[in-house]
């Protein structure tokens, strides 16, 4: 069996932590009408909604929010 697909990271997603998911779902639930399908817009919206301690966490949450918005619109 060829495992190079998994080693190179092919189509494997990144796992989000419980904290990231909890924060993202809470923000999504409260602000689903204001969120967009654009990562940069969600990043700006997130800056106004919550005080996120790190840039990396903010970007992860904004990316996950974008993914949720796109999934709900389909």
Q: How long is the chain?
A: 74
pLDDT at 4: 47
H helix and E strand count, the chain: 4, 0
pTM listed for this prediction: 0.78
C-alpha distances (whole Å) from 73 to each of 4, 16, 36, 37 are 34, 21, 10, 9
CATH class of this structure's domain 13-73: mainly alpha
pLDDT, greater one: 60 or 74: 60
Per the structure block, which two tokens stand in for 26?
């809470």
- Report pLDDT digits (tens) over 32-48: 999 999 999 999 999 99
Closest CA to 63 of 27, 10, 9, 12: 27
């Amino acid at each position: 069996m060829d495992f190079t697909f998994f080693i190179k990271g092919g189509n494997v997603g990144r796992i989000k932590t419980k904290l990231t998911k909890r924060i993202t779902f809470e923000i999504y639930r409260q602000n689903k009408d204001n969120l967009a399908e654009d990562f940069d817009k969600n990043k700006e919206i997130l800056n106004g909604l919550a005080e996120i301690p790190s840039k990396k966490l903010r970007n992860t949450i904004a990316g996950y929010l974008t993914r949720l918005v796109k999934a709900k619109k389909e």
